Amino acid sequence: MKKLLLGDFAVARGAYEAGVRVATAYPGTPSTEITEELSRYDEVYSEWSPNEKVALEVGFGASLAGARTIVSMKHVGLNVAADPLYTAAYTGVNAGLVVAVADDPSMFSSQNEQDTRLIARAANVPVLEPSDSAEAKEFTEKAFLLSETYDTPVILRLTTRVAHSQGLVELGERKEVPLKPYLKDIPKYVMMPANAKKRHVVVEERLNKLCADSNSCPVNRIEKGSSDLGIICAGGVYQYVKEALPEASVLKLGMVYPLPYKMIADFVKSVKRCIVIEELEPHIETLIKSKGIAVEGKNLFSIQGEFSVNLIREKVLGKKTEAVAAEIPARPPVLCAGCPHRGVFYTLKKLKLNVMGDIGCYTLGAVPPLGSIDSVLCMGASIGMAIGFDKANSDFAKNTVAVIGDSTFIHSGITGLVDAVYNKADATIIIVDNSTTGMTGHQNHPATGKTIKNEQTYALNLEELCRATGVKSVDVVDPYELDKFEQTVRKALSESGVKVIIARRPCVLLTKKLYKGFEITDACKNCKACLKLGCPAIVNTEHGMTIDASLCTECGLCQSVCKFGAIKAK
């Protein structure tokens, strides 16, 4: 049976049919749906891990114990998981271990545009890259075979366009793969220097063999066309190339590391002009050129952003296609109406504080009109940055706070807090606890008390955790209570040492209820205090302020900032 599937769902289906038993991940757009989908299968143990490093370590353990395992993450998550990945390449695996990593060219939902193929190359791990949903399923199954045949973790690289596009996929039956017996093998699995030196040799031999075998691997194929022009490409770019340059000969790479150099050399010889077209870094081009094979590539194309059919036509054929401007209003991302984070940033802006931000919905506290966040670096960095402000002895430090979400705090903020206490920092840390992993679509995490399958489990108590690190001052406040929240922040800033404020209120989208509504009455003096909240439901019209009922979530924040009592519940 054929089914229309998202690329991520196709990866999940491929893993399921390949007999996967364990699936781990930390949510990250555009990879989240892989593990969400796998959690629907009873045959698969699945979990949201606290972060990608733990996800890969659990996955590695499951592989050693003999279970086929898939670990999923977005590209920046691979940085967090890099430590176990580099050494897992040395130890090899027992049962198949596949690491699905989704890159984000054009940064639709990411803080950078890094290219996973470069990390794979540094870690000496082979990479398969599908170009549509059908291949996403097929390559996932192949990745498990590759992993077991060559005794290595395998990266399955996706990009946003493949992960989040739909295509027809032929569904098959699940193949039950029995647990592979675990055999104690200290020289293979204990990476201390004497063993690791020998394993490094194994890694090099494995890569050389993979490189040679890739010349006859069916995921790499030549599609014969005109001998005037040859294109080397992979992944989603292959689809653009086929549409933009239907006459060209194409070498489509399914394995993008290591590369089939003999196949490439023969292909380049067979055409008059050969261009490597790849999004992001010149990974394929650089490797090909390192073998003395002449190709074009980044002399024509940027290392930034997503490509398109029109772009490829323009760069290769010089044919510019006039884009038709879409007549639609721009919709920049904003915090939802009634978002509990809105009260936090409204207050921090009012107090004119420096705000070290973090990764999550609340990163949007940086955009107007809240415009309150000064810096966002990576998951968990806000606390370290606030410590740095303090330790630099700058005048700014006393007016600086760190803001971090509950899920992000568990992911990689805890160690920052430990550092703050251990090294006697003066730091005010605000954990904006919306009781979910909001930005990626409301996934559970260790403090929600629910597993990925919505089963009850122990709920990590953030207050107790903070106190256990040695923090003496821990306050829990509802960010909708603006006066109380402001007083708590003022008090924390006036004290020395590490202070934690947990601004706790569930994401408003988790607590939707029937709308009754608010209205702005004649008592309104048009002072625009409510407009400063930046709530999309509050609209400034030529007749004065009104509330858009379709956007209002009845949070009541506008009521609490109105000095004239002009905003009433209906």
Position 89: which residue type?
A: A
Residue 156 near residue 100 (C-beta atoms within 8 A): yes
The minimum distance between CB 336 and ligand SF4, in angstroms, equals 3
User: In the complex with ligand SF4, which residue's Cβ is closer, 385 or 507?
Assistant: 507
The minimum distance between CB 551 and ligand SF4, in angstroms, equals 12
User: In the complex with ligand SF4, which residue's Cβ is closer, 137 or 445?
Assistant: 445
Closest of 44, 49, 36, 43 to residue 9, by C-alpha: 36
Give the chain's length.
Answer: 570
- Residues paired with 401 in a beta bridge: 355, 428
Contact residues toward ligand SF4 (CB under 6 A) are 335-336, 339, 341, 361, 434, 438, 507-509
User: In the complex with ligand SF4, which residue's Cβ is closer, 100 or 537?
Assistant: 537
Which H/E stretch holds residue 346? helix 340-350
Which residue do the tokens 């781990």 mark? 24
Residue 403 near residue 356 (C-beta atoms within 8 A): yes
The minimum distance between CB 553 and ligand SF4, in angstroms, equals 8
The minimum distance between CB 409 and ligand SF4, in angstroms, equals 14
CA of 313: how far to CAs of 240, 253, 281, 297, in Å?
A: 9, 20, 20, 14
Closest of 151, 273, 253, 130 to residue 210, by C-alpha: 151
User: In the complex with ligand SF4, which residue's Cβ is closer, 264 or 344?
Assistant: 344
User: In the complex with ligand SF4, which residue's Cβ is closer, 39 or 437?
Assistant: 437
Assign residue 556 a region: left if phi > 0, alpha if psi is -120 to 50, beta otherwise?
Answer: left
The minimum distance between CB 339 and ligand SF4, in angstroms, equals 3
User: In the complex with ligand SF4, which residue's Cβ is closer, 207 or 376?
Assistant: 376
Which residue do the tokens 């990266």 mark? 155
User: In the complex with ligand SF4, which residue's Cβ is closer, 307 or 409?
Assistant: 409
Tokens describing residue 226: 């005109």
The minimum distance between CB 113 and ligand SF4, in angstroms, equals 23
User: In the complex with ligand SF4, which residue's Cβ is closer, 509 or 531?
Assistant: 509
Question: Residue 255, SS3?
Answer: strand
The minimum distance between CB 503 and ligand SF4, in angstroms, equals 11
The minimum distance between CB 507 and ligand SF4, in angstroms, equals 3
Distance (Å, whole) CA 117 – CA 75: 10
Q: Output b/e per residue, 34-47; b: 16+ Cβ within 10 A.
A: bbbbbbebeebbbb
User: In the complex with ligand SF4, which residue's Cβ is closer, 312 or 336?
Assistant: 336
The minimum distance between CB 556 and ligand SF4, in angstroms, equals 14
The minimum distance between CB 552 and ligand SF4, in angstroms, equals 13
User: In the complex with ligand SF4, which residue's Cβ is closer, 99 or 552?
Assistant: 552
The minimum distance between CB 361 and ligand SF4, in angstroms, equals 3
Closest of 288, 298, 300 to residue 256, by C-alpha: 288
**Sign of the torsion angle spanned by Cα atoms 123, 124, 130, 136:** negative
- Residues paired with 547 in a beta bridge: 538
CA of 125: how far to CAs of 21, 93, 333, in Å?
A: 22, 12, 36
The minimum distance between CB 216 and ligand SF4, in angstroms, equals 49
Tokens describing residue 264: 């490439």
User: In the complex with ligand SF4, which residue's Cβ is closer, 76 or 507?
Assistant: 507
Helix residue spans in 245-318 (DSSP H) = 261-269, 283-290, 309-317
Does 218 sit behind a cis peptide bond, omega within 30 degrees of 0 on the bond before it? no
The minimum distance between CB 380 and ligand SF4, in angstroms, equals 18
Quote the Cα angle for 275-276-281, to 5°: 140
Q: Could you write out the three-class secondary structure of 129-195? A: CCCCHHHHHHHHHHHHHHHHHHCCCEEEEEEHHHHCCEEEEECCCCCCCCCCCCCCCHHHHCCCHHH
Distance (Å, whole) CA 400 – CA 466: 19
The minimum distance between CB 138 and ligand SF4, in angstroms, equals 35
